Amino acid sequence: MASDGTAGTSQVFRWVLDVQPEWPCSDNIKAGRDAASRWAVENNNQRALNLLTSDEREKVLRFYHVRDAKLSLASQLLKHCAVVQNCRVSWAESVIGKDENHKPCFIPADGAKEQLQFNVSHHGYLVALAGCTNQDVRIGVDVVQVDTSKDLPRVREEGWPSWVRTYEAVFSAREVQDIITWTPQQSLNEEESLKAKLRHFYAHWCLKEAYVKMTGEALMAPWLQQMEFRNVKEPKAQTSTGDNWGGTFSDVEIWHDGRLVTGVKMELQAFRNDYMIGTATSAIDVPFSPFQLLDLQRDIYPVAESKS
């Protein structure tokens, strides 16, 4: 694994894992109570599952849909790998717990070993993890996949303003108005314009979710409608074959009850043509490392199966 995300770095390291190429053959298994268990009998899946604790493995195998099992498995592997790489412990010692807000964390019994703050998110086929060994840094990360094939039929049926207002409990009145009235700069046909509007909507959603996860609260937090993001711009999607990373956006303004919020650093990163990843931290002076797209064979298994 590359140096980003190893012990001693004073930065927020950021990883992603795409479960589709890692476990590509099993989405045709019919959903059901035993779907994940049937998927697990494949040899390449068993190798990864054997790296988890019995409780973690049982949780993965309870999922009704194979895709959800994949995402859960990848999330567990990333968390263990982050702990091993940053806290100088073995894979067996990388016990994942939960903090007072029920966020996953590693708090070692031996105070001499470094602690680690991290946050994980998944959507579509992508799992993202952001972490830092600085205990004063709170972190939130969120992944969104802009699935226009799912959203467009409802948008056409309900109309754009009505569809947006379905989510008004999450946004301030100003944000709702911004999303409804926003139009793409370039001239597009109706369908492409709606796709652009959906991408702008999900940029808002991803920023808010990352911020809320940084605070340790959920999207039912009572202050959601008082917290608003202004000057939101969606990062440019990556449409070139053979390249994963698109543009970034970090100039968002955060307002709460009419006051500008300082001391929070945020970024939106485009991944391929349909994903965005939001990162939020409570330390503006701690840099973000570039995202790394990890690979099981190259990055995870060598760490997990090392005898040292």
The string of DSSP letters for 167-191 reads TTTTS-HHHHHHHHH---SS---HH
Cα 191 from Cα 110, distance rounded (Å): 57
Q: Which tokens sit at 233?
A: 């711009």
Query: Quick check: 294 and 22 in contact, CB under 8 A?
Result: no
Task: State pLDDT tens for residues 224-255.
Answer: 889 999 999 999 999 887 789 999 999 999 99
Task: State pLDDT tens for residues 16-43.
Answer: 999 999 987 655 688 898 889 888 887 6
Considering all CA atoms of the chain, what is the largest pairwise distance in Å, rounded to the nearest integer?
Answer: 60
- At 84 the pLDDT is 94
Q: Which of 2-11, 132-141, 212-221, 258-267 has the lowest mean pLDDT?
A: 2-11
Tally the C-alpha atoms within 13 A of residue 72's C-alpha that lie toward its C-beta.
19
Does residue 294 register a pLDDT over 80? yes
* Three-class secondary structure of residue 292 per DSSP: strand
Task: State pLDDT tens for residues 146-180.
Answer: 999 999 999 999 999 999 999 999 999 999 999 99
Helices (H), the chain: 19-22, 35-40, 43-49, 54-61, 66-87, 148-158, 160-165, 173-181, 190-215, 301-304
pTM: 0.93
Identify the band that residue 72 occupies on the pLDDT scale cut at 50, 70 and 90: very high
- At 104 the pLDDT is 83
- φ and ψ at residue 95, rounded to 5 degrees: -75, 125
